[in-house]
Amino acid sequence: MSETWWRGAAIYQVYLRSFADGNGDGVGDLAGLRARLPYLSALGVNAIWLNPWYPSPLADGGYDVADYRDIDPVFGTLAEAEEFIAEAHGLNIRIIIDVVPNHSSTASAWFQEALRDPSVRDRFWFRDEPGEWQSIFGGPAWTQVPDGQWYLHLFDPGQPDLNWTNPEVHREFHDVLRFWYDRGVDGIRIDSAALLAKPDGLTGSYEDLDEVHDVYRSWRRITDEYDGRVLVGEVWLPDQERLARYLRSDELHTVFNFPFLACPWEPAGLRQVIEQTLATHAPLGAPPTWVLSNHDVARVVTRYGRADTSWDHADRRDGAPSDLELGYRRARAAALLAMALPGGVYIYQGEELGLPEVDDIPDELRQDPMWRRSNHTVKGRDGCRVPLPWSGDEPPFGFGTATPWLPQPDAWNKLTVEAQTADLGSMLNLYRDGLRIRAERLGDGTLTWLDLGPDVLAFTRESGLTCVVNLGADPVPLPAHGTVLLASGALDGDRLPSDTAAWLA
Ligand code: GLC
């Protein structure tokens, strides 16, 4: 297996609770995922990133980790996880897991100990008075414990922030990294990677302080002791220069490209994000990544069908009207764009099925702490986490045998893997074809822009493949070419219609 597999990898994000339910309890699990590994292999992905699979009271969908060295019983066992890693490797699929260093869980041994014994509170941020910060999920970021002290939680009260000035916290995570690398894990996705260091006095901005980089330098040293492992940062920073600091040669290998995800479906903006991304990555020798969606943002089909197609955490636009037909068309074109760009590409489960955001989950079934913490003003992220439709005409659509933990729309009968496999023009087959061609001709490298006018993004890769995306309202002539390898929609003779992409050779 190549040491630098991650430079051009297609990485599929598995939200385990919603992927496939193997034991019939309505919640996705390792048994379900293992049974569907052939699906992922046939799809053509090189790696899987799994959201947290650790024991958790689920204050935040598992991002409240009670034990970093075990698997939640709802998903399976540690032994099953090891078997899963070996099976995936047998199919030439690498495994990236989520590590959550900014905070742990109130159910963790450390926090329980701190509650019992105030002399061991220094692994967290306990104070006699609450500070001014607000939680990212809404409401105050400080919660009081029975003896009167307060602890900091940038997210849910179930997620106490760890104190990264305490060397014991550093040692603990070094050990956690080794624990999983020793079990064959190929990479670590670092949750909320820019938030770990806190300013003196716990006031002012806590984002992207210099001290976080020391943490990742030490993580890199450990990672480099193993072959072919990768560190991926979840760093939400609009400023590409700040983002690039995480990619220095002794820090992380890659970061998620959220400026690309947040960018509206608009040619000048996209061109600018792509150029900036390439310009900041090239001098560092780090491969960019291309990300259209994940478990925290509205599904891309829905986003691209809205009047405002940009993404903003501060204004999630939950329930904003969306022209799903238009969004679907654009999402197909965007998939070919993302897959053609130099570097790695992420695919969030269900993206390959063109699933829309589910806007009408009944309020009493909503699980996201954002919904609770915002006093029911922000619907939150459940709508992009609905269990996948695999087969059949009605829920649970082959997800499992029981009622899924979030309800699936009836209209998903047309979007099942089974239905889309049979339909040559489906989103699923577009992804399969795209990933197959990508493996031969795309991935890591560089691009050369072609000028086809202000509405068109067009570039050629080293292999000679040209990607053309028309973001304007009118069809545009295709540049001279031999064959059309793949197109996101029907061509109009030799012209590329609006919101359509084509790969030419
Ligand atoms: C990251 C995760 C998100 C989680 C948050 C707190 O942003 O992607 O799902 O809620 O961190 O852990």
462 phi/psi in degrees, rounded to 5: -55, -30
- The mean predicted confidence, pLDDT, of the chain is 97
Report how far apart, in Å, the C-alpha atoms of 197 and of each of 90, 209, 222, 255 are: 39, 6, 20, 18
pLDDT given for residue 18 in this prediction: 98
Residue 369 CA: nearest ligand 1 atom is: 10
> 100 in ligand 1 pocket by Cβ < 6 Å?
yes
Rounded to the nearest whole angstrom, what is the distance from the C-alpha of residue 195 to the centroid of ligand 1? 11
pLDDT given for residue 314 in this prediction: 92
Q: What is the pLDDT of residues 8-21, one digit of tens each?
A: 999 999 999 999 99
Please state, in angstroms and rounded to a whole number, the distance separating the CA atoms of residues 196 and 145.
22
Please state, in angstroms and rounded to a whole number, the distance separating the CA atoms of residues 257 and 254.
9
Q: Is a pLDDT exceeding 60 seen at residue 173?
A: yes
Please state, in angstroms and rounded to a whole number, the distance separating the CA atoms of residues 298 and 198.
29
Query: 27 and 14 in contact (C-beta within 8 Å)?
Result: no
Query: 176 and 190 in contact (C-beta within 8 Å)?
Result: no
> 98 in ligand 1 pocket by Cβ < 6 Å?
no
**CA end-to-end distance (rounded Å), the chain:** 29
Rounded to the nearest whole angstrom, what is the distance from the C-alpha of residue 441 to the centroid of ligand 1? 34
pLDDT given for residue 1 in this prediction: 54
Residue indicated by tokens 């589910």:
358
Q: What is the pLDDT of residues 372-385, one digit of tens each?
A: 999 999 999 999 99
Query: 149 and 126 in contact (C-beta within 8 Å)?
Result: yes
Which mutation among 16, 51, 60 tests ligand 1's pocket best, with the greatest number of atoms within 8 A of CB?
60
Tokens of 134: 């607000």
Q: Is a pLDDT exceeding 70 seen at residue 243?
A: yes
pTM comes to 0.98
Rounded to the nearest whole angstrom, what is the distance from the C-alpha of residue 310 to the centroid of ligand 1? 20
Q: What is the DSSP letter of 489?
A: S
Handedness of CA 37, 43, 47, 51 (dihedral sign): negative
> 191 in ligand 1 pocket by Cβ < 6 Å?
yes
Helix (H) or strand (E) holding 221: helix 212-223
Q: What is the pLDDT of residues 99-127, one digit of tens each?
A: 999 999 999 999 999 999 999 999 999 99
Please report how many Cα atoms fall inside a 13 Å half-sphere around the Cα of residue 170, on the Cβ side.
15
